[in-house]
Amino acid sequence: MFESKGETKTRDFLKHIELLGQNASDRLVIGFQKTERELLHEFIADTKELIEHNEWGVGLENLMNNLYEIDFKVDSRAIDLARAAIQACEMNYDKWKFIDELQK
């Protein structure tokens, strides 16, 4: 099956977030009444489902917004992968610059 570049890059970003999520904390996130670990699990599952339904751009947007909303800190690799996915999905990076604020 052929994957578009946008889908591939979104999957790459998602896989890295999934890896980082293995070290997520059990802190309760105010406003969600769930732990960071629980929320990441939900965000990842939701993004996977959107990708499977050919909505990888929406999945990427949702994932980045959700990570920002819970202030989940990521490494420079995640930022690079997010930028690549944004570009591959032909999204305007200026709208998504906030993702840089999540870098540790």
What's the confidence (pLDDT) of residue 93?
87
| Helix, strand and coil percent figures for the chain, each rounded to 5 | 70, 5, 25
Token reading at 78: 């995640």
pLDDT in tens, 25-66: 999 999 999 999 999 999 999 999 999 999 999 999 999 999
Looking at the predicted structure, is the pLDDT value of residue 2 above 80? no
Rounded distance between C-alpha atoms, residue 43 and residue 49, angstroms: 10
Calculate the average pLDDT of the chain: 94
Q: Vertex 25, ends 12 and 103: CA angle to 5°?
A: 50
Rg of the chain taking only CA atoms, in angstroms: 13
**pTM greater than 0.85 (yes/no):** yes
> Residues near 12 by Cβ (< 8 Å), separated by ≥ 6?
81, 84, 85
